[in-house]
Every structure is written in structure tokens, then in C-alpha cells.
Structure 1
Amino acid sequence: MAVLNDEVPDDDDFDAKRKRGEFDHITPDDVVNAGGTPPGWLSDTEISRVRGEIPIPYVVVVPVRTDETGHVTQVGTLLAVDDDGTITRTLVAGRVLFHETIRNAVRRNIARDLGDLALPVLPATMTPFTVAEFFPTPGASDYFDPRQHAIALCYVVPMAGDCKPQDEALDVEWCNPEDAMQPDFYEQVPNGCGRIIRAGLMWAGIV
């Protein structure tokens, strides 16, 4: 996966001279030819240590399709294989990288899970509809992540393009919002992420 793809411009890009702080001197060749851990990323040992000591910022996306009036007509979930081999539902989610804006984090994680042709329609403001606090201790909150204490900014994002499963996802499954609001559906999305779906749909006007 490219490192901070939107932060490392080619020389002829319109914003090639824009200041990027820590990344001012990183070039595309540095990313392509980097040995070991590329700039902006932590090694497996480092990320395990950080996860054990401080909260990690995340974004979580509920993918939807809308009609011409903006009403939600479909809700998307990813099908993936859990650690024990069972197939489970999940949402688009991922870390916010160092020196990365929230907007770029949402866009990057959507492209990683749904492909470059998903064409997300990002909101004008990146205010989340809710903030989900995931704890590594079961029962500490409605949200559980055995790896870490994660603070997740949650968004409902319409997809205007073709969504294809990427990375470790097996498929992208769409259903109507009324079905997604039913307990027997959102309870299939583990670790509290089903609650995020329900809260997001209620925020979008589905009751």
C-alpha cells in the first residue's frame, strides 16, 4: 500500500510546492524505493507498543447508496473471514495516519476496502455523526477491539461508483435500510459496529 498517497506529489502536480511539514522532503522515489518500514508508518513492534499505551484515532464508514433526492436506499457491509474462520460482516474502518487529514483518511480507507472506483461523495464538513470508543476490555463500552483503545469518528458516506471488495474483504453486500435496522441484521456485525450502522441510519433519517 502506498504511503500517504495524497501527501507525496509528483513534480508536475498542481500542489507540488505545498508545504507538508514532516513530509516536505519525501519524494515519490522515496516511497517506491524505501527499504524496511516506509516513512509515516510504524513497524509491527512499534504499533503494538503504541496500541498498548495510547488511544488510536480511527475512522469508520457506513457505505450507502442514495436516490436523486439524497434519501438512503441501500446500506453496504463488507463480508470478511474472522480469525476463527467464520464469515462476518464489517464496515470500512482504518487508522488516521500521522500528518493525514480526516478527509483523506476517510477517502483512503474507502479506496482500500471498496476500490478506487467507489467514488465516495464526501460531506462538506467532516463532523462525524457519532464517536465510538472501542476498548480492549470486554464490557467497558458498547464497542470492543481486542487490539487497542480506539477512538473512531463515524461517517455515513454515499457511494456514487462501483464498489468492489479489496484487501481482505470477500464481498460487498447491499441491503435496504429497513432491513439493516432490524436487530437480527445489525447484531451480525460484531464488536458494536452494528450499533454504528443503526445510529448512522437514524442520523440519516431512517426510523
Structure 2
Amino acid sequence: MTFLPDDVYALIERSVPIACVDFVPVRIAPDGRREIGLILRDSPFGRVWCHLGGRVRHGETVVGALRRHARDTLDVGVMVEPNAQPAYVYEWFPPEVAPADGTSHGVDPRKHSIGLSFVVDIEGDPMPQNEALDFGYFDPAALPEPMWPGSAELVGVRQRQSTAFS
């Protein structure tokens, strides 16, 4: 796979939205409630909890990107169909171009991205690595703090639309 030089990629990030996958592992806790998995990571906001994911590479399928990010971040597999469709689409904006029309969105000072958001079951025991400093499962009504600006809203959007996180 060919990678772009850092300066070229930075120009692209400043110029066009980047396609990304966002995903949240889920499991059933011993008490029968559904829990969501989040990673702790260093970020432009300091050390924060957030969902998993990242960009889709040229020539990579959306599901391929999900699998790569799960493997690279937690050393696990994800159980998804080859043509899985996102549960939700959520946008991320740098503050200087964020919409002021009431559109729900997350904050990412690095780039404008379009997150194809998935709820997934994982295969294996999560082993935080690379950007993940830690991993934990949480009750959706008691999310850890601090969180990446927009991650709690992303989970809340899904919570209002379905019972996936409750």
C-alpha cells in the first residue's frame, strides 16, 4: 500500500472530509445489561475516553477498515458481515468549520471526517495497544470522564435511535 508524504496528507485533511469508521464494541454484562467498550487515549484534548476507529485507506473496504482498527487497537477481531452497513453516520469537525445550524457533530481539531458508525461484537480478549492506553466496558448511563468531545453524543444518538446501548 502506498502512503502519502505527511505534508500532502495534511493538505488533504485541511481540504476535504476524510472517510472513517467509528465503532463501539458491546457485550452483555453478568447482570444482563448491555455495556459498551471504550478506549483511553492521548488526544489533542489530553487523555480521554472515546469510541474506536479511524480512517479508511484507499483500496480498503469499510469492513476491512473496521477489522484493521480493531486488530491494531485491541488485538481482537470483530464479528461483522462482509457488506455490513453503518448503524449511524456521525460527522466530526474542527471548530473553525463546525456547522452552526444545530447539526449534531463531534469535535476533531485535526480534520473534518465522516464517521460510518458501527456497533460490533468482538472476538478475543481486548489487549490495548498503539493509541489505546486502556480499554473498559461501561454502562451507557455511566460513561467515564473525560471523554473526547462528541464521543458521548455519538453513543447518545445511537441510544435514542435504538436499544443497542441500553
TM-score for the superposition, normalised by structure 2: 0.82
Runs of 4+ residues deviating >3 angstroms: 204-207
Does 2:77 match 1:119? Answer: yes
- AA aligned to 2:155 is I
> Is there any run of 5+ residues in structure 1 with no aligned partner, and where?
1-38
The percent identity for this pair of structures is: 27
Partner of 2:42: 81
Greater strand percent: which structure?
2
Does 2:3 match 1:41? Answer: yes
What is the rounded CA distance, in whole Å, between the counterparts of 2:71 and 2:121 in structure 1?
Answer: 13
Alpha-carbon deviation of 1:88? 1.0
Does 2:88 match 1:130? Answer: yes
Task: Answer 1 or 2: higher relative contact order, Cα 8 Å, separation at least 6.
Answer: 2
Instruction: For residues 58-78 of structure 1, give each alpha carbon's deviation from its aligned partner in whole angstroms, at most 9, with x where no partner exists.
Output: 0001111247xxx86321110
Instruction: For residues 144-165 of structure 1, give each alpha carbon's deviation from its aligned partner in whole angstroms, at most 9, with x where no partner exists.
Output: 1111110110000111311110
- AA aligned to 2:52 is V
Partner of 2:121: 158
Query: Is the CA contact 1:181–1:198 (under 8 Å) kept in the aligned structure 2?
Result: no
1:200 maps to which of 150, 155, 158: 158
> Is there any run of 5+ residues in structure 2 with no aligned partner, and where?
none
- AA aligned to 1:145 is D
Name the CA shift for 1:78/1:206 in 2 (closer, same or farther; >3 Å): closer
What is the rounded CA distance, in whole Å, between the counterparts of 1:192 and 1:129 in structure 2?
Answer: 16
- AA aligned to 2:67 is R
Q: Is the partner of 2:12 in helix, strand or coil?
A: helix
Instruction: For residues 7-50 of structure 1, give each alpha carbon's deviation from its aligned partner in whole angstroms, at most 9, with x where no partner exists.
Output: xxxxxxxxxxxxxxxxxxxxxxxxxxxxxxxx332121111010
Q: Is the partner of 2:59 in helix, strand or coil?
A: coil
Query: Is the CA contact 2:78–2:122 (under 8 Å) kept in the aligned structure 1?
Result: yes
Alpha-carbon deviation of 1:204? 4.0
Query: Is the CA contact 1:123–1:157 (under 8 Å) kept in the aligned structure 2?
Result: no
CA RMSD, 1 decimal = 2.3
What is the rounded CA distance, in whole Å, between the counterparts of 1:66 and 1:154 in structure 2?
Answer: 20
Query: Is the CA contact 1:56–1:148 (under 8 Å) kept in the aligned structure 2?
Result: yes
Does 2:130 match 1:175? Answer: no
- AA aligned to 2:17 is P
After superposing the two structures, state which structure 1 stretch, 151-160 or 193-202, moved more. 193-202
TM-score for the superposition, normalised by structure 1: 0.67
Structure possessing the higher radius of gyration over alpha carbons: 1
Does 2:26 match 1:64? Answer: yes
